């Protein structure tokens, strides 16, 4: 239940995001972020706010562990929409890598979404988001966050 304890603290985040998803694009944009993550429920939950100063918005993430299933649920909300994103991403860690999945939509198109968290050390980790439109045969990574402890 303490899988996300590595993330607790304040982070400088380098975001690299695909400009146009699911369009065969190879044009990426890079922008900064700053995230503060707090631990709750003795490690079975955590909460973060990430601010994207050059984009003019922020996001909130709530991660909750279910001890019965040994799965994490990850919920996201953006200051742009003011709506809690559903469904949650659900998954688990195997060692220092966690994979989380959900069925979602992107610009009205159904997609399978995957988050991958990789712990790179005490002061570094990486988050990636990818979409699949072919039943998980192929994935297009569309957002990467490189975290460096502040």
What domains appear along the chain, each with residue ranges and CATH number?
A: 3-149 (2.40.128.20)
pLDDT score recorded for residue 86: 86
pLDDT score recorded for residue 22: 94
Separation between Cα atoms, residue 60 and residue 82, nearest integer Å: 10
Separation between Cα atoms, residue 3 and residue 95, nearest integer Å: 9
pLDDT score recorded for residue 1: 82
Helices and strands counted in the chain (H then E): 0, 10
Q: What is the DSSP code (8-state) at residue 89?
A: E
| Of the candidates 11, 41, 47, the residue with the CA atom closest to the CA atom of residue 122 | 11
Rounded mean pLDDT for each run of 10 residues along the chain, 150 residues in total: 94 97 95 98 96 97 97 97 92 97 94 98 97 97 98
pLDDT score recorded for residue 18: 97
């Amino acid at each position: 239940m303490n899988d996300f304890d590595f993330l607790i603290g304040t982070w400088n985040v380098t975001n690299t995001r695909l400009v146009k998803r699911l369009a065969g694009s190879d044009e990426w944009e890079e922008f900064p972020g700053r995230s503060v993550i707090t631990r709750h429920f003795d490690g079975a939950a955590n909460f973060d706010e990430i601010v994207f100063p050059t984009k003019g918005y922020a996001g909130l993430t709530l991660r909750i562990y279910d001890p019965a299933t040994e799965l994490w649920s990850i919920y996201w909300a953006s200051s742009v929409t003011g709506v809690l994103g559903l469904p949650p991403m659900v998954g688990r860690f195997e060692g220092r890598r966690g994979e989380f999945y959900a069925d979602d939509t992107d610009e009205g198109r159904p997609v399978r979404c995957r988050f991958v968290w990789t712990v790179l050390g005490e002061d570094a980790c990486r988050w990636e988001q990818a979409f699949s439109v072919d039943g998980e045969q192929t994935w297009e990574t569309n957002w990467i966050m490189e975290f460096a402890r502040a």
